[in-house]
Amino acid sequence: MTDTLERYPRPSVAVDTAVLTVTSAGDLAVLLLPAEDDGGMPVRLPGTFLHEGELLAEAVLRSLRTKAGVAGLAPRQLHVFDAIDRDDRGRVLSVAHVDVVHASSLPPDALVVPVSALPPLAFDHDRIVAFAVEHVRAQYKQAPDPRGLLEAPFTLSRLRSLHESVLGERLLPDTFRRAMLPHLVATGAMERSGRGRPAELFRRT
């Protein structure tokens, strides 16, 4: 007997994207869709169901463009969330994606909320945000601004301030300097501002 796919259950496949940024106030924040006025979907991540003949990456970009008004991003696959009860409408697998962008890449009226002050989110989107934040923070513990939020050249002070925003904690200047210097190249230029000592400028290796 020839095995056919009709013998197996077919869960729906969705994509949800955690677009993270650092606000002007220095908060790590995530792009959300507002709750629907008619009492439908509550606050949630940009997402959609996968269409017939569509690749996951195409669905992600479509959802960001049509639902959040965002284009030009390059989200990466993060994790598959497959809890049986994650969607009360039926069995839905979510292939979560993540991107980290400068705040200027998002529309001025976008709903951007600090990850430390999230409202109740639809489905398991709080878990997706938490997973994305942990993933990005692990990257920022290992290398200087790996997602390129800071335009080079930059001072160590500005770099440390960015890392503090992403990590959500204060960093000791000397310890941070020792950890980051092996991954930086001095430009030979100095930044002079105010009456303090000139600060050396660096770029990533």
- Which amino acid belongs to residue 31? L
| 28-84 pLDDT, tens digit each | 999 999 998 776 789 999 999 999 999 999 999 999 999 999 999 999 999 999 999
Residue ranges making up the domain that contains 113: 5-142
d(CA 24, CA 26): 5
Mean of the pLDDT values across residues 11-36?
Answer: 96
Q: Cα(first)–Cα(last) distance of the chain, in Å?
A: 58
One domain, residues 104 and 178? no
Confidence of residue 27 (pLDDT cuts 50, 70, 90): very high
CA distances from 173 to 145, 159, 178 (A): 16, 10, 9
One domain, residues 112 and 163? no
User: Is the distance from CB of 46 to CB of 124 less than 8 angstroms?
Assistant: no
One domain, residues 43 and 125? yes
User: Is the distance from CB of 98 to CB of 135 less than 8 angstroms?
Assistant: yes
One domain, residues 34 and 122? yes
Domain annotation covers residue 81: yes
Look up the CATH number of the domain holding residue 190.
Answer: 1.10.10.10
Average pLDDT, rounded, for the chain: 93
| 102-126 pLDDT, tens digit each | 999 999 999 999 999 999 999 999 9
One domain, residues 119 and 71? yes
One domain, residues 95 and 185? no
Q: What is the pTM of this model?
A: 0.92
Domain annotation covers residue 83: yes
One domain, residues 94 and 166? no
Beta bridge partners of 20: 30, 100
Query: Any long-range contacts for 77-80 (C-beta under 8 Å, 24+ apart)?
Result: 78/18, 78/128, 78/131, 78/132, 78/135, 79/128, 79/131
One domain, residues 83 and 178? no
One domain, residues 97 and 118? yes
CA distances from 45 to 14, 158, 170 (A): 12, 30, 28
* Total domains present in the chain: 2
| Residue 154, H or E segment | strand 154-155
pLDDT (0 to 100) of residue 194? 65
| 134-157 pLDDT, tens digit each | 999 999 999 999 999 999 999 999
Look up the CATH number of the domain holding residue 33.
Answer: 3.90.79.10
One domain, residues 21 and 94? yes
